[in-house]
Amino acid sequence: MLNKQRYETHLQDELMTRLKGFLLITTLLLSSLFGASTSAAPLNVIVNASVKENNLKLKDLRSIYTMKKNLWSNGDRISVFVLSDDSATHKEFCRNLLKVFPRQLESVWYRLVYSGTGEQPVSVSSEQEMIKLVSKTPGAIGYIRSENPHEETKIITIK
């Protein structure tokens, strides 16, 4: 009789453990699905209103952010702005738009600086600072998660 009770208790405990695991996995899956569909606004690449381009090829955007391309088509100097390395927007920009890991991009910048052949972009701490600096700097480029918030900047399309 005692063994039968132990066995039933063991089965109940095992069933509860499996049920908890199932509920945890289900909750995580649902939250990731709903989290992805209700995520923040899409990323937008913004430039100073003085920039003549309205769209860029992905390879040109990569060249700009790896500091290989430093002039716009009309000869104006490109000033590159980035959010801080720990910013979720910066990580998403690197991974989803540039298709590189943030550390890879950072290592390119460090090589340029330490070899004396280039400079790294200007790092800003917030999207508001990004908008402010891009709007005030002729030839500037940056990225934000919101729509075009300032008349001195414009959103460009990436092909």
pLDDT level of residue 57 (50, 70, 90 thresholds): very high
Kindly report the pTM of this predicted structure.
Answer: 0.73
| Termini Cα distance of the chain | 74
- pLDDT at res. 129: 95
pLDDT level of residue 35 (50, 70, 90 thresholds): very low
pLDDT level of residue 20 (50, 70, 90 thresholds): low
Give every strand in the sheet of 153-158, ordered side by side. Answer: 55-56, 153-158, 44-48, 140-144, 79-83, 122-124
- pLDDT at res. 28: 66
In tens, the pLDDT along 85-134 reads: 999 999 999 999 999 999 999 999 999 999 998 899 999 999 999 999 99
